[in-house]
Chain A
Amino acid sequence: MSEQETVTIEVDGRAVEAVKGEMVIAATDRAGIHIPRFCYHKHLPIAANCRMCLVDVEKAPKPMPACATAVADGMKITTDSQRAIAAQRGVMEFLLINHPLDCPICDQGGECELQDLALGFGRGVSRFTEGKRSVEDEDLGPLVATEMTRCIHCTRCVRFLDTVAGKKELGGMFRGERTEIKTYVGEGIRSELSGNVIDLCPVGALTNKPFRFRARSWEMLSFPAVSPHDGVGSNMELHTLRDRIMRVVPRENEAINQTWLADRDRYGIEGLYSEDRLERPMIKEGGQWREVPWEIALRRAAESLRGVASHFGPEALGALLAPTATLEELYLAGQLVRGLGSGNVDHRLREGDTSDQAEAPPFPYMGQRIEELADKDAVLLVGAYTRHEQPMINHRLRQATNSGAAVMTLNPRRFEWNFEPVLEHAVAPGRMVAELAAVACALAKGGKGKGADLPDGVEALAAKSETAQRIAERLKVAERPAVLAGNMAAGHPEAATLRALGTLVAELAGGPFGVLAEAANTAGGWLAGAVPHRLAGGAEAPLSGLSAREMVERGLRGYLLLNVEPEADLWNPAAARQALSNADSVVAITVYAGDALKESADVLLPMGGFGETAGTFVNSEGRWQSFRGVTSPLGEARPGWKILRALGTVLELEGFELDNAEEVYRIVAAACEGVAPGSRYPFHKGAASAGSASGGTELAGAVPIYSGDPLVRRSQPLQHAAIAGQAEAVAAAETAGRIGATDGGMVRLEAEGGAVELPLRIDEAIPADTIWVPAALRERVDLGPPFGRLTVTAV
């Protein structure tokens, strides 16, 4: 506010500082003076259609809406004069004309803005004797429940979907008293941010569908938490009732998620109490699962791990850790495996190429703060569909495009964005390296490169590409450019080269390069030493082990799994299944006991799920956010760090005499002191093969928005959402024609892992010679990695 011009206005006799040009209500909100309102929201454009915020402005002939009246120096405003109150009461009477009196069965009851203000400004008895209007409901999908008779037409939801979520999915139909808020074509809401309309709705017209009628706002306790679903670390509140988490609402944090929350963060919790939740420790004896007390299970787990280490050597033991685990759990798991003499620890489960790990920065850093993304004027996304990967990052990119930024993509397909990318470069995954190298070359020739000469070998990689040229030209004229590598880049078999080239492109363009973390603690895993080559804080590990991909593909004798589902969480699920069934012992510390896990594991230790464990997540911008466990773990489950501590103690390892999670936090924090974030991945000649040989058909795929982690995969409302992915093969018409397959017909896909049959859908968003198959789905496990070569035949 310091550099902006300020004016002083007088509100109810109090002097209030206001920024020139802002609306009265913004200034009074900051000063803590309450003006009633329904349609005004600080992050939405002003509509001034509810008229509830009418205030008395001196010299004005009639009351003015505070949300649409700009401040002027010396303005005198009264919010509680007789005229203002009379105006507000009048508006309230009109609003209540058509509002049903069904508060007792309305889910908004108790947290309803209309209810609250009706108490202050409503009449005790209605003077309206005519019939009330009633409106037919529309099905908006599995996430948002509607009761449109209650709607007061504030249009917050309409404005949100239009200006923030980016698609005009709701609108006001008809006129006057017959106005209805509806979808245009009755398709429901497809936005990945749709749940926010629930918070925005001041009445009970739009409510949380899965949460419907479950609890009342006044009986729940609220605890702060951090979203476990992506690398953004959205702040949220968990509402609990009788030791169960009932719902999630956003917690305002202007630097991360503002007042919003992605649907994945809001509804992911619906998977917490799923039927396959593991509540008691189990061991497998003679192929049969048996529930046992903790002591026996722990002893059995310790024996198996020790047994493998002494029988086959410690290097035959490996730990696959979920990147959604807390910093504390990741650290202890690393310590445990290293204590047994093995260096095979990794949490980068879905990464295809980690060959640059020795020179990698201390953790995958997005190169800037999340807020800063909104100020960019050119962004190149490499292997990123941020809209589904990190919705809140995408929200910032959309803000940037609103002020004219050019977002360009280099992806293995085109996507459905909620803004207009100036350029979508869709190429077969094997060509991504060549295209990115071409961008770097084109940038270097232009001359803006600040002393960063093109390293040897980049030119040899580069393809001849006009589109790459255009990307480079746009980056060249940008003042605040950025290059971001997303989840598809991380899962690419040549991810290291993509990162190095991305660094190069960013340097040549004069902006930061950033890696967008896939999971809540992808960054935290690096800092906690859950990578094979580094200890906590980035210190060189004395014995370097195998990466997650290597552990799976080479096959070890014993595995420790920390909340990992082998068929969905790993880069190569086919190899993972093979490796785990071949292993002599698999100890799984897990929240859920899925069928695949029950088949391969020997010991299942129940771990507290989300909201049941204290811990810390480090997000993409390197922000450490700690949270408490808010309910007790289900059944006999225990927080993950306690299980690891107990296991470490049973194994008689050192450094496991810990009293609480904060102690673990302090150890990691001390180790990470002075760790500076960086996102520079150096380029080395010969590190990459110059584009894969052409001719064949390539497989490409990304994890669908609601398949990323065990929790969200079990959330039924999300799985039924329109944008949840389904197992299918998608190809352009030309590619399909070559195979001889038709839209809707079955095709047989054969990759190195195995073969699957899937229905084919024709979509021109897929580049030529590429078959798009969403990753992490059970139906496509046999295909193996998300990228690679494959042969396709029509069935």
Chain B
Amino acid sequence: MRPLREYVRSFLLVELLQGLRVTGRHLFKRSVTLEFPEEVAPKSPRFRGLHALRRYPNGEERCIACKLCEAVCPALAITIDSHQRADGTRRTTRYEIDLFKCIYCGFCEESCPVDSIVETRIDWHLMESREQRVIGKERLLEIGDQYEAQIAADRAADAPYR
């Protein structure tokens, strides 16, 4: 019996009509496709995107070269060299993150005792050559400076839950 029924159905185009019904339904629904890059999806304050190094309001970099982020990084993406700055404080001479190695787990941010290294909402960063995958201290501080308002707001929004 079954083959016969299938045979008849194939002539009646039932499946096609069923498919067209889905199409028709979506034709009148609100579109969910975002016109990237003109439109971007909303993000949680906990979003873990591109890294940044923050400063204190007086302009002093927060990082004290404790190297905890380097130690905790599961992908070994962070490389730090440290020294004693002329004023006697402990500072980095090199702070590099290899973005190809990084898995954006956020451990570095978790481990930071001075809230210096953070992961921002930036998820749209591109590079033109392989060399650019390593971002250094200057670039990280630059990102931090540029997005400080948002970074601070995000930490504040998340603070009650921590």
The residues of A with any CB-CB pair to B shorter than 8 Å are: 103-105, 109, 212-216, 218-219
- B contact residues around A215 at 8 Å (CB): 82
A212 to B84, CA, bound (A): 7
- B contact residues around A219 at 8 Å (CB): 67, 70-71
- B contact residues around A105 at 8 Å (CB): 64-66, 89-90
Min Cβ gap A1→B in Å is 42
* B83 at the binding interface (Cβ < 8 Å): yes
CB pair B82–A104 under 8 Å, yes or no, is no
Interface residues in B56-112 by Cβ distance below 8 A to A read 64-68, 70-71, 82-84, 89-91
* B157 at the binding interface (Cβ < 8 Å): no
CB pair B65–A213 under 8 Å, yes or no, is yes
CB pair B84–A104 under 8 Å, yes or no, is no
A219 to B64, CA, bound (A): 17
* B24 at the binding interface (Cβ < 8 Å): no
- Of the A-B pairs whose beta carbons lie under 8 Å apart in the complex, a sample of 7, sorted by A's number, is A104-B66, A104-B114, A105-B66, A105-B89, A213-B65, A213-B90, A216-B71
Min Cβ gap A128→B in Å is 20
A219 to B65, CA, bound (A): 13
A104 to B114, CA, bound (A): 9
CB pair A214–B83 under 8 Å, yes or no, is yes
A213 to B67, CA, bound (A): 10
Min Cβ gap A150→B in Å is 14
A105 to B90, CA, bound (A): 6
A103 to B90, CA, bound (A): 12
Which 3 pairs, one residue from A and one from B, show the smallest C-beta to C-beta distance? A104-B66, A213-B90, A104-B113
Q: Per a CB cutoff under 8 Å, which of B68, B70, B82 touches A213? A: B82
Min Cβ gap B88→A in Å is 9
Min Cβ gap B71→A in Å is 6
Please, which residue of chain A has its CB at the minimum distance from the CB of B91?
A213
CB pair B66–A109 under 8 Å, yes or no, is yes
- A contact residues around B84 at 8 Å (CB): 212-213
A219 to B82, CA, bound (A): 13
- A contact residues around B91 at 8 Å (CB): 213
Please, which residue of chain B has its CB at the minimum distance from the CB of A109?
B66
Min Cβ gap B29→A in Å is 53
**How many pairs of residues, A versus B, come closer than 8 Å at their CB atoms?**
28
Min Cβ gap A144→B in Å is 14
Min Cβ gap A108→B in Å is 12
Interface residues in B103-156 by Cβ distance below 8 A to A read 113-114
CB pair A214–B82 under 8 Å, yes or no, is yes
- A contact residues around B90 at 8 Å (CB): 105, 213
Min Cβ gap B28→A in Å is 58
CB pair A218–B66 under 8 Å, yes or no, is no
A103 to B66, CA, bound (A): 8
A452 to B130, CA, bound (A): 81
User: Which of A104, A214, A219: most chain B Cβ within 10 A?
Assistant: A104
A103 to B65, CA, bound (A): 11
- B contact residues around A216 at 8 Å (CB): 67, 71
- A contact residues around B82 at 8 Å (CB): 213-215
A672 to B84, CA, bound (A): 49
A218 to B84, CA, bound (A): 19
- B contact residues around A103 at 8 Å (CB): 66
A109 to B82, CA, bound (A): 14
A218 to B66, CA, bound (A): 12
Min Cβ gap B89→A in Å is 8
Min Cβ gap B82→A in Å is 5
Known: A104-B113, A214-B83, A219-B71. 13 other contacts (CB 8 A): A103-B66, A104-B66, A104-B68, A105-B89, A105-B90, A109-B66, A213-B84, A213-B91, A214-B82, A215-B82, A216-B67, A218-B71, A219-B70
Please, which residue of chain B has its CB at the minimum distance from the CB of A241?
B81
CB pair B64–A104 under 8 Å, yes or no, is yes
Q: Per a CB cutoff under 8 Å, which of A104, A213, A218 touches B83? A: A213
A714 to B71, CA, bound (A): 33
- A contact residues around B64 at 8 Å (CB): 104-105
Please, which residue of chain A has its CB at the minimum distance from the CB of B113?
A104
A212 to B89, CA, bound (A): 10
- B contact residues around A218 at 8 Å (CB): 71
Please, which residue of chain B has its CB at the minimum distance from the CB of A218?
B71
Min Cβ gap A240→B in Å is 14
A214 to B91, CA, bound (A): 10
Min Cβ gap A233→B in Å is 33
- A contact residues around B66 at 8 Å (CB): 103-105, 109
User: Which of B67, B113, B114: most chain A Cβ within 10 A?
Assistant: B67
User: Which of A105, A215, A218: most chain B Cβ within 10 A?
Assistant: A105
Min Cβ gap A484→B in Å is 42
A338 to B40, CA, bound (A): 80
A214 to B64, CA, bound (A): 12
User: Which of A215, A216, A218: most chain B Cβ within 10 A?
Assistant: A216
A216 to B64, CA, bound (A): 13
- A contact residues around B65 at 8 Å (CB): 105, 213
Please, which residue of chain B has its CB at the minimum distance from the CB of A210?
B84
A421 to B42, CA, bound (A): 82
Please, which residue of chain A has its CB at the minimum distance from the CB of B71?
A218
- A contact residues around B113 at 8 Å (CB): 104
User: Which of B64, B84, B89, B114: most chain A Cβ within 10 A?
Assistant: B84
A442 to B83, CA, bound (A): 61
A105 to B114, CA, bound (A): 11
Min Cβ gap A243→B in Å is 13
Please, which residue of chain B has its CB at the minimum distance from the CB of A104?
B66
- B contact residues around A214 at 8 Å (CB): 82-83
A218 to B71, CA, bound (A): 8
A105 to B62, CA, bound (A): 12
A104 to B69, CA, bound (A): 11
Please, which residue of chain A has its CB at the minimum distance from the CB of B67?
A216
Min Cβ gap B94→A in Å is 11
A105 to B113, CA, bound (A): 10
A219 to B71, CA, bound (A): 8
A549 to B91, CA, bound (A): 51
A104 to B90, CA, bound (A): 10
- A contact residues around B71 at 8 Å (CB): 216, 218-219
Min Cβ gap B150→A in Å is 26
User: Which of B66, B83, B89, B114: most chain A Cβ within 10 A?
Assistant: B66
- B contact residues around A213 at 8 Å (CB): 65, 82-84, 90-91
A109 to B65, CA, bound (A): 12
Please, which residue of chain A has its CB at the minimum distance from the CB of B66?
A104
Please, which residue of chain A has its CB at the minimum distance from the CB of B89?
A105
A212 to B83, CA, bound (A): 7
Min Cβ gap B1→A in Å is 73
A280 to B136, CA, bound (A): 30
Min Cβ gap A685→B in Å is 63
Min Cβ gap A201→B in Å is 18
Min Cβ gap B65→A in Å is 6
Min Cβ gap A210→B in Å is 10
A219 to B68, CA, bound (A): 11
Min Cβ gap A355→B in Å is 53
Please, which residue of chain B has its CB at the minimum distance from the CB of A107?
B90
- A contact residues around B89 at 8 Å (CB): 105
Please, which residue of chain A has its CB at the minimum distance from the CB of B92?
A213
A699 to B160, CA, bound (A): 79
Please, which residue of chain B has its CB at the minimum distance from the CB of A101?
B113
- B contact residues around A104 at 8 Å (CB): 64, 66, 68, 113-114
